[in-house]
Structure 1
């Protein structure tokens, strides 16, 4: 499968010439119709460059085939033509576009403590998209809390439709704020800093947990004296690793702010009937850890009615913990 033109192949070889180390390009293929195209693109880069090593990620929850540069930059787009140079530059050096960000914006960005999820929709022949992408790559290169996904809206129209994309470039922050056309880095960073932590998305909190910052999630809720709605989504998440991270964060919250931790009971009782059987045992464990005895009548009903031995045992242990 031919992906790169002769001219692009030449650019890849010239880019790779001075590089004397191995660069890892990770990719994930979720069973999408475009999987083969993305794999062929990666294989072409590896063969032409000699310095790129491909690594397939098998346990990454993505809806579209994805290329990963470092831990927080994702391309759900084939960086061809004018998008190729920025892609290669940041693959070789995460801070390649840091000089596009002014000193005052850098100082503000250094204050960012919670992940900011950025999506930018591009199209292959958009004349303004590369500049916007490079600005966002600059922000991502300066802060590990800026997570960027570059999406080709024409290649994945179903995703673009879900996000109501009508033009490129379009930048979306945390699925709440959007800009069409050029984006001002200073305005973007101000919004990142002024967001209400209670309105963070489940993806943002999950990212913190998966990055090993369960304590940070707990501290945010302790400071706000509130169980965030998105945090409940993590506790009932179908993936065990996500639930485990959320439970670690919750146990930390119990130590930090026990009164806040008790608030989890209402949302979990509401969610319990709809979750999978494999999730129920974990929710019962959280109810036991909550310290909130208002959960006892519900737990007693589970013990009296539940035929699944593991769920029954989990409810019994939760009762013992609360007593």
Structure 2
């Protein structure tokens, strides 16, 4: 079932097992059960420390659990973990088999100390690039703490569960039968939701940090680039961000990053994070900034947790987020038919009629991708013509199950109280109102800069972007900005990295041209 290259790599990985691992499957006579058996037998044959049996009788067939002999059940895969989830399977085997985890010792101890019974279920699609991080985090926790159990469920294999629980976005995580969260969540974020005292403890730690020479707010490509350039100058550098990687974590295919023919967002982010770790950069994750103010010659950033950080110079690289329609029904049905990631949530609408709002490159690409999965796609564009590249438009118009409507102003997302059942739009030429019955609405209308917390502090453009000069400097001395949050045109990953480098060099130039009192100097 595995190609020779992948099989060879997996066999090498399994040599790292330090203790026996059991794979116990629950199968029936279906085709998917046969595929699962073939995969698991192949894996078991690769190592004398891995055994396989089909003695399980779980209600979900096909599924399998991974455990230590004589140990409790911790990890279950209700689906064949290929595609993006293959790495989740490999890590589950290695961690169950005693291979060391690449996780900070204090985080491991925090997981072990979690008190209570935690039964997690994560609904995923194999095409979802956001799902593996959640699956891998919960699997790791299940290995460390006997009170934590986790099941990954492929929604495409269990449509009756998806329908019963009204799951229309992945990943969707249940804890003890109740919705725990949707969308990408990292290990520390999950722990933070379980260990409510961790936010206060982390804020206290942050408050103890000495002032920085340069503090970067935001952990996307611009922020990562800025941190590397700043740290290489030998100055005290920090990054504070909600999540490392930013929007790039939600990007599937990247084919225009020079020197890299093709990659995926999460892979690029992992490489960025590893590069940053090569330098003395203090990285603080899961922290959102909400105030910026000057304190004498220093600049203070206040976080939502209440913690405060001081720095001689600041680089803002908070990026952008998906622009919302702002119409009735959108927020009510977010995660229940309203979606922003066609790659993640598209498989949940297999065979159904969906709408894509937006005729730019993102919207047209989404429509093309979805057309191969769903029954029919209706694309609505506000303007009188599509704005996507000609080659994309040509591909779009070649598809028989796509309808394009231009000059259409979406006015409402409709639903039955539980999930989306359609949308209303107005023909801008005739003013006539129309209704389209759809099961899902994918919003692809651009980005909004993350500058809400800066409106009364820095000079912003009419679009809410931070205005910067040729050195990346903003209207406040000592504050620089880079990437999608600024007025630079062409919001691209490679552009953001270059802008991050420029802002770091601008900040360093600011530092060497200004004098700071001893009490202002970073420790």
> TM-score, normalised on structure 2?
0.33
Q: 2:130 aligns with which of 128, 131, 134?
A: 128
* Residue in structure 1 matching 2:32, options 28, 31, 34: 34
Judge conservation of contact 1:100–1:135 (CA < 8 Å) in 2. Answer: no
Residue in 1 aligned with 2:156? 154
Q: How does 1:91-240 map to 2 (within 5 A)?
A: 91-94=93-96, 99-100=102-103, 103=106, 106=108, 109-183=111-185, 185=187, 188-189=190-191, 192=194
**Offset at 1:13?**
2.2
Alpha-carbon separation, structure 2, partners of 1:187 and 1:131: 11
Distance 1:30 1:145, change over 3 A: farther
SS state of the match for residue 143, structure 2?
A: helix
1:6 aligns with 2:4: yes
Equivalent in 61, 77, 81 of residue 64 of structure 1: 61
Contact 1:120–1:169 at 8 Å: present in 2 too? Answer: yes
Q: 1:136 to 1:21 in 2, by over 3 A?
A: closer
1:159 Cα offset (Å): 2.4
After TM superposition, give the deviation of residue 16 of structure 1 in Å. Answer: 2.8
Q: Hey, which of these two has a bigger chunk of helix by percent?
A: 1
Does 1:75 pair with 2:72?
no
Match of 1:24 among 22, 33, 36: 22
Shift of 1:88: 1.9
Question: 1:86 — aligned with what?
Answer: 88
Structure with the larger strand share = 2
Query: Greater relative contact order: 1 or 2 (C-alpha under 8 angstroms, separation 6 or more)?
Result: 2
Cα drift, residue 149 of structure 1: 0.1
Q: 1:24 & 1:150 partners in 2: Cα distance? A: 17
Structure 1 CA distance for aligned equivalents of residues 92 and 186 of structure 2: 20
* CA distance in 2: counterparts of 1:184 and 1:8, whole angstroms: 26
Distance 2:55 2:195 in 1: 32
- Given that 2:18 and 2:99 are in contact with CA atoms closer than 8 Å, whether structure 1 keeps it comes out as no
Shift of 1:76: 0.8
> C-alpha displacement at 1:189, in angstroms?
4.1
1:277-316 to 2 correspondences below 5 Å: none
Shift of 1:108: 5.1
Question: Structure 1: where are the runs of 5+ without partners?
Answer: 195-323
The CA deviation at 1:185 is: 4.3
Structure 1's 174 and 57: CA in aligned 2 closer, same or farther, altered over 3 A?
A: same
Preserved CA contact (<8 Å) 1:4 1:41: yes
**Secondary structure of 1:62's aligned partner:** coil
Q: Could you say which residue in structure 1 is the equivalent of 2:52?
A: 54
The structure whose Rg is larger is 2
Distance 1:34 1:168 in 2: 21
* Structure 1 position 129, deviation (Å): 1.5
Q: Greater CA deviation, 146-155 or 3-12?
A: 3-12
Q: Which residue of 2 aligns with 1:275?
A: none
Cα offset, 1:69, TM superposition: 1.0
Q: How many aligned positions are there?
A: 190
Asked whether the equivalents of residues 20 and 50 of structure 2 are also in contact (C-alpha less than 8 Å), the reply is yes
Mark the CA change 1:146 to 1:33 in structure 2 (over 3 Å): closer, same or farther.
same
- Tell me if structure 2 keeps the 8 A contact 1:171–1:180: yes
* Cα deviation code 1:164-213 (max 9, x no counterpart): 2212222111121231111254554465568xxxxxxxxxxxxxxxxxxx
Q: CA deviation at 1:61?
A: 3.3
